[in-house]
Amino acid sequence: MREFVRGAGLLLQGFAYWRRRPGLMALGLVPAAIVGVLFLAGLIALGTFLPAITEAMTPFADGWPGVWATVFRVAVGTALVGAALVLVAVSFTALTLVVGEPFYERIWRAVEADMGSSDIEAPYGFWRAVGDALGLVARGLAIAAAAALIGVIPVAGAALSTVFAVLFTGWLLADELSSRALTARGMDRSVRRRLLRRHRARVLGFGVATQLCFLVPLGAVATMPAAVAGSTRLARSVLDDATAAAGTRALG
């Protein structure tokens, strides 16, 4: 639990950069706001047409007793909304990082410089960002589908789906956001994920805190620059622990 709380605290440290680097952090709002408007419009459209979509997906329930048809369709509608929120969180992050790559690179490099690593020169690159974004969306689709299926379980489905979606989406967000600082050190995807899995609770704490902030109205836009800064500190914390552990083994 301590590691989980530590991970959530790293996001708070990211928010602290609004006080330390307000101009730089404000730049990070621009791509987040542009992408956020598009996704907000999509969510409004989903909410408007949700009853019609739910009925179209469940024509077999037309002959059921009224109360059971209503209960089932509410469950399906809730599952659809949950799956949509997963996709929005993942797709928003992926697209915002691609659109705002120059802005967010300045943020994570500023955090690295504050932590004494201003000499990192390995570029992340636009096409690498696109590739990682597509991979993130693909994994998000799988989580959204699983969350939707869990959501139709009677009685407990909504709660189970929510917990599942928040935990797994949180992990994806932490993985993607921390990839800049780790890739800049020459780590490929498999090495990055092995490193993060050694600190699963800390990574989940950061990712879940970020995901919950994204669920607040306009929270994703306000949180994105802080999430980039906080994820850089997350990457540094797991790297420092790995270095310390390697040093301990060498002494032993």
The residue among 75, 47, 48 whose CA lies nearest residue 61 is 75
Q: What is the DSSP string of 171-187?
A: HHHHHHHHHHHHHTTT-
49 CB burial (10 A radius; 0-12, 13-18, 19+): exposed
User: CA–CA separation, 84 vs 77, rounded Å?
Assistant: 10
Task: Write down the pTM of the prediction.
Answer: 0.81
Whether pLDDT at 127 is above 70:
no
Query: Is the Cβ–Cβ distance between 203 and 196 less than 8 Å?
Result: yes
The pLDDT-based confidence of 122 (bands split at 50, 70, 90) is low
Tell me what pLDDT residue 251 has.
46
Token pair of 63, please?
């002959």
Q: Coil, strand, or helix at residue 153?
A: coil
Please report, for residues 159, 209, 220, the alpha-carbon distance to residue 216 in angstroms, rounded to integers and kept in the order given.
18, 11, 7
